[in-house]
Copies of this chain bind each other. A is one copy, B any other.
Amino acid sequence: MTEIEHDIDPETGPGGTPAPEDETGQDDQGYTLDRRKVSAILYAVDAEDREELIAQMEPLHAADIADLLEQINAYDRRRLVLLYDLEFDGEILSELNESIREEVISLLTPGVLQDAVRELDSDDVVDLVEYLEEEQQEAVLDALEDSDRVAVEQALSYPEESAGRLMQREVVAVPEFWTVGQAIDMMREREDLPEQFYHVILIDPKMRPVAHVTLGKLMASPRRTALSEITEPGFRTIPAQQDEGDVAYAFNQYHIISAPVVDEDERLVGVITIDDAMIVLDEEHEEDIMRLAGVGEGNLNDRVSETLKQRLPWLAVNLLTAVLASLVISVFDETIAQFVALAVLMPIVASMGGNAGTQSLTVAVRAIATKDLTGSNVWRVIRRELAVGLLNGLAFALTMALLAILWFGNLQIALVLAVAMVINLAVAGLAGIGVPVLLDKLKVDPALASGTFVTTVTDVVGFFAFLGLAGLVLL
């Protein structure tokens, strides 16, 4: 029952099968919906065979059913939801992507919607309704029992993306002076224990959490043990107003499993568990990646019009910066007219600068998000980026100079290209770290805006250095 050592031969390792070859996560491993499953389900929908549909869907987790609904088209989705009817589970709604969620809710009859949402915990209902349009939000809230509705509305009164919205209100808390036996007896008697909980919270007479005890310790300790003797080290509470991103950061940084949420008077109002924090961490990452690429909130299920709305503004900003770079080029149009080689080579300088800048800025944006880039080390990191930029610049300056000599047989152009490359890669390193740090100081999300600024800098500096030097040297 303790460590299991029965079947591992230290010589050959734990079995002869090789590691999965596929590193991209496409190795199905029984997780994803495979194509055959999707076909079988759509076939049942086509045949309007409700029993077959239910049989096919039965083994699927709600998260997989949600993925299925996201992957099929709107016409099939509608037919499937209508045929599935009363089998439709509240969990599926929770798992659905927001853009599809509204569509699916509008397909459900009031009776089905009521059954579906009544089986959810109040924090799941909050998550479900918080971004719905008002009319749909009302429809869901109306489907709840009165007491649940009050709980959900109270949760919605916390700011968006706060700990108060994330927490569950069902907690297991006992007076700090209780014993293990008292706590266990209370839990045996209580009928409405939360579905998932990992700690018993100890509270003082003013309802302030002072410590917590893991269920494992509780289980392993004699009944007469005082709870205060077996509390966990590193106990933390979370303010209800705290941003959910900071909550996720704390869970990840300190390996927290669950933590009580408190109001401004430090009184217990709920509890957040690691599974909720993991979802937030995942969303924050997703947001960072999407913002770095200028894709707003984009996802695969958005319609063409929504996707356009997300991407067009970003491209418009990029157009402005591209025109700015063109203006720089147009200053040197006479030089270019005389030496067309400049027009051929100039995109190389800009492209290398843009890439080097993106490298620096990505490392910087991540380091700011993980709180690893701080006042204590920012100057050291800036020096490092400058050094790396200069060294990369020198390496590529040599390469490019050789290339220019071989290609155009012109030493002067080679020299100009080399110098411009060093300048632009050094600037790229500095801008790559400087822009996100500055934006962060100005309370702008560096993931959102750094990219444009940095490539504008590298384009403008790249063209200006290359063409400007060329003008001086060649004319």
Contact = CB atoms under 8 A, between A and B. Distances in A.
A307 interface: yes
A8 B269 contact: yes
Interface string A169-193: 1111110000000001011101011
Sort A-B residue pairs by CB-CB distance and give the 5 closest, nearest first.
Answer: A293-B362, A19-B159, A13-B157, A215-B215, A343-B343
Interface in A266-321: 267-270, 274-275, 277-279, 281-282, 285-286, 288-290, 292-295, 298-300, 303-304, 307-308, 311-312, 314-316, 318-319, 321
A299 B359 CA distance: 11
Which residue of A3, A257, A270, A314 has the most chain B CB atoms within 10 A of its CB atom?
A3
Contacts of A265: 7
Given A71-B372, A207-B6, A326-B345, A193 B215 contact: no
A453 interface: no
Nearest to A191: B220
Contact of A391 (B29, B188, B308, B446): B308
A356 interface: yes
Contacts of A376: 33, 35, 38, 71-72
Given A8-B154, A333-B344, A300 B363 contact: yes
A241 interface: yes
A188 B219 contact: yes
Nearest to A15: B264
Contacts of A388: 304, 307-308, 311
Number of copies of chain A assembled together? 2
Contact of A289 (B255, B288, B322, B329): B288
B326 A348 contact: yes
A98 to B, nearest CB: 14
A387 interface: yes
27 contacts: A1-B190, A2-B192, A4-B207, A7-B269, A19-B160, A19-B161, A21-B443, A25-B369, A38-B376, A188-B220, A196-B216, A215-B215, A215-B216, A281-B282, A285-B285, A288-B289, A292-B292, A293-B359, A293-B362, A293-B363, A300-B363, A300-B381, A308-B388, A315-B392, A322-B347, A323-B348, A347-B350
Contacts of A81: none
Nearest to A400: B319
Interface string A5-45: 11110101111011111111111010111010010000000
Interface residues of A, number: 189
A109 interface: no
Contacts of A270: 4
Contacts of A289: 285, 288-289, 292, 362, 366
A267 B6 contact: yes
A160 B19 CA distance: 8
Interface stretch (A110-118, A125-133, A246-254): A246-254
Contact of A150 (B10, B243, B440): B10
A277 B198 CA distance: 17
A119 interface: no
Contacts of A307: 384, 388
